[in-house]
Chains A and B, each alone.
Chain A
C-alpha cells in the first residue's frame, strides 16, 4: 500500500463525521445518541463530529423503525452523502423493526432500504454501546 493510501486511510479512521437521521424513533435512541455526543462521553476526542448536512458526513446514524413513508426519504439522504459512506443502525427498531415487527406499515429494519455496516442492538442502546458501534466500524475500516 502506497504512502498516499496509508495517509488517506489514517485520515478516514481519525475523522469520522456523523449525521443522525431519525426515521420514526420513540426518541429513546435519539437521546442516547445525544448523550454519546455531549461532554460526558465527548466523542470529539476521537475526532467524531455531528454534521448537519449529509454532504459533509461519513457515517449515517439511523434510529427508529423504518415505515413505508420514511423509506424513500432515508434512501434519498443516503444517496446525498459522498462516497465512501457508512451506515450505522442504532436500536432494536433500526436493526429489525423491534416491537413494531409484523406491523402493516413498517419495514423490518434499515437494511431493507440501504446497506448497513454496523448494527447496535438495544432498546435503547447505552451511549457506550453506540461508541462501541463506531469503534467496530473503524476496526472494519482498518482491516479493509
Chain B
C-alpha cells in the first residue's frame, strides 16, 4: 500500500482542491447535461440564469438550501437527517482514487478499483436506508426498486471495469490510466470497446438516469425514494447525484480512455475533455430512450449484459494469452 502524493500536508491541500473542483464540476456537468439534453430535443434548455443558463444548477441549489426543511412526523429522525449527508459524501470520497490534477490520484493503492466499486455499492445501501427512514409508501417502493436495480447492474459493471484492469495487470485505477500511455496494445481495443458499452449502460442504471430511472419514476411513484426530502436535504441529494455523475464519467474516462493521461496538454485539461465527452454520451442516451420497466431491466441485465460481460472477460483473457 503506497502512493500518497507526498506528506500529509500535500494530501490535505490536494484533497481540499479536489473537493472545490468537484463541487464546481458537478454543477457544470448538470448544466452541460441539461443543455445537451435540451438541444437533442430541439429546445434551448436553461438560458436566462447567467451566460446561457450556466448558473442554473447553482440557483437551484441555493434556492433549495433556503427552503423550509420538513421532517415527517413518522420518519426515523436520525437516519432521515444523516442519509443525505452520507449519500453526498460517498461519491466525493471515491473521487479521491481517480487521477484528476496529475497522472496519479491523490490516494492510490493496489486494489483501489475494488474499493471504489465497494463504495458505489455502499451508496445504494444508504439510498435504501434514506427511503426506509422516510416511512412513505412511495419512498419505500422507490428504495426497493433501487435495491433491485443495484442487484441487476452491479455484476456486469464490475466485470466490465475488470477488463482494462486485466490488460494493465493491476487493480489500481492510477496504474490502469498509466498503462494507456505507456504500454497500450491495439489488440485490446475490441474487448475494451465492448466493456465500455456495458459500463456506459450500467452507469445509466447506477446514476438512475432515464432508461433506468425506475427508482425515481415520477409518473408512477411521485419522486421515488426522494419523495419526502425537501429543502437542505433535497439540495444535498441533488448535489450527490451530480457528484455521482462526475464520478461515473471520471471512472469511465479513466478506465477506458486513460483519464488524465495524454500528450501536450496538462493532465487536468485531458481529464476535463474526456469526462465532458463521456457526459455528452450519457446525455445522448438520456434523450434517445424511454424508461424501462423493472422486470425488463432485471431480465436485460441478467440475461444479456451479464453473459456478454463474462464472454468479454474470457475473450480478453484468451487475447492476452495469445499476444
Contacts and interface: CB of A to CB of B under 8 A. Distances in A.
A47 B49 contact: yes
B60 A15 contact: yes
Contacts of B223: 51-53, 55-56
B265 to A, nearest CB: 33
B230 A47 contact: no
Nearest to B223: A53
Interface in A48-82: 51-53, 55-56, 58, 80, 82
Interface residues of B, number: 37
Contacts of B41: 39
B54 to A, nearest CB: 12
Most buried by A among B63, B69, B70, B222: B63
7 contacts: A15-B59, A44-B46, A53-B218, A53-B226, A55-B223, A82-B68, A83-B68
A14 B49 contact: yes
A99 B228 CA distance: 37
A141 B226 CA distance: 28
List of 10 A-B pairs having minimum Cβ-Cβ separation, nearest first: A52-B218, A82-B68, A11-B62, A14-B59, A53-B223, A42-B43, A11-B63, A45-B47, A55-B230, A83-B68
A69 to B, nearest CB: 21
Given A14-B48, A14-B55, A53-B138, 9 more contacts: A44-B44, A47-B60, A52-B219, A52-B223, A53-B228, A55-B70, A56-B226, A58-B63, A82-B231
B66 interface: yes
Main DSSP-derived SS at the B contact region: loop
B159 to A, nearest CB: 34
A55 B63 contact: no
Interface in A90-126: none
Given A15-B59, A82-B70, A44 B222 contact: no
Contacts, number: 94
B18 interface: no
Contact of B67 (A44, A45, A82): A82
B231 A47 contact: no
A8 interface: yes
Interface residues of A, number: 23
A7 B55 CA distance: 12
B34 interface: yes
Given A53-B227, A55-B230, A45 B45 contact: yes
Interface of A: 7-8, 10-12, 14-15, 39, 42, 44-47, 51-53, 55-56, 58, 80, 82-84
B160 to A, nearest CB: 32
B59 A10 contact: yes
Interface in B38-79: 38, 41-49, 53, 55-56, 58-63, 66-70
A12 to B, nearest CB: 5
Contacts of B80: none
B59 A39 contact: no
Contacts of B59: 10-11, 14-15, 47
Given A42-B38, A82-B68, A15 B219 contact: no
B42 to A, nearest CB: 6
Contacts of B67: 58, 82-84
Interface string B192-228: 0000000000000000000000000011001100111
B66 A45 contact: no
A99 B55 CA distance: 44
A83 B231 CA distance: 9
Contacts of A44: 34, 38, 43-46
